[in-house]
Amino acid sequence: MSITARPQPTLPSARLRRPVPAQIARRIADTPALWRPLVRFDAHSRFATRLPATADDHEVWLLTWLPGQGTAWHDHGGSAGAFATVQGVLTEQHATPARDDEPARVVPGARRLVAGGVRPFGPRHVHQVVNADALPAVSVHVYAPSLTEMTEYTRHGSLLHSSGSQLAGVNW
């Protein structure tokens, strides 16, 4: 009796298996049962809660924004991501990433992100997001890999200078 080895199926490369944050954000945004029960608004600061983990290669956060609430200028510590506005309108300004000895530079203009829209970004993205509208806003954020650190920036004219870091498990 002869035994013939069967060819083993090949697995897709790791590149093909990486999560696509925009697709995940859209899927979760389109499933209100996953996030709607978690919506809370806080008059003093943005409310944020991490959705229960469903994968090791990304994380999902729900954020709520009353009028006037926003973030400082920040990056995502090398994580790529996307956010979906699921209620209201958010306004984003972004900057070119810092390079060598050059600081990040604010890109003129702002982007309005209305309910139903998804904003993907790469691992070097620097931005500031605010609810500049008159009504509350809600958004779903996906980061891949999960956030470990975020650098905050201080704006000086059109330039952004690093002003410190926040670490997962320490500052949030």
Q: Is residue 127 annotated as involved in ligand binding?
A: yes
The answer for residues whose C-beta is within 8 angstroms of residue 88's C-beta and 6 or more apart is 65, 115, 131, 133, 135, 136, 137, 138
CA 8, CA 109: separation in Å to the nearest integer? 53
**Residue 60 identity (one-letter amino acid):** V
Q: Is 125 annotated as a binding residue?
A: no
Q: CA nearest 152: which of 130, 141, 135, 167?
A: 167
Full DSSP string of 104-170: EEEPSS-EEEETT-EEEE-TT-EEEEE--SSS-EEEEEEEES---EEEEEEEETTEEEEEEEEETTT
161 is in an annotated binding site: no
- Among the listed residues 94, 92, 95, 143, the one whose alpha carbon sits nearest the alpha carbon of residue 114: 92
The encoded tokens of residue 54 equal 């469903």
Positions at the binding site? 74, 76, 127
Positions at the binding site for Fe cation? 74, 76, 127
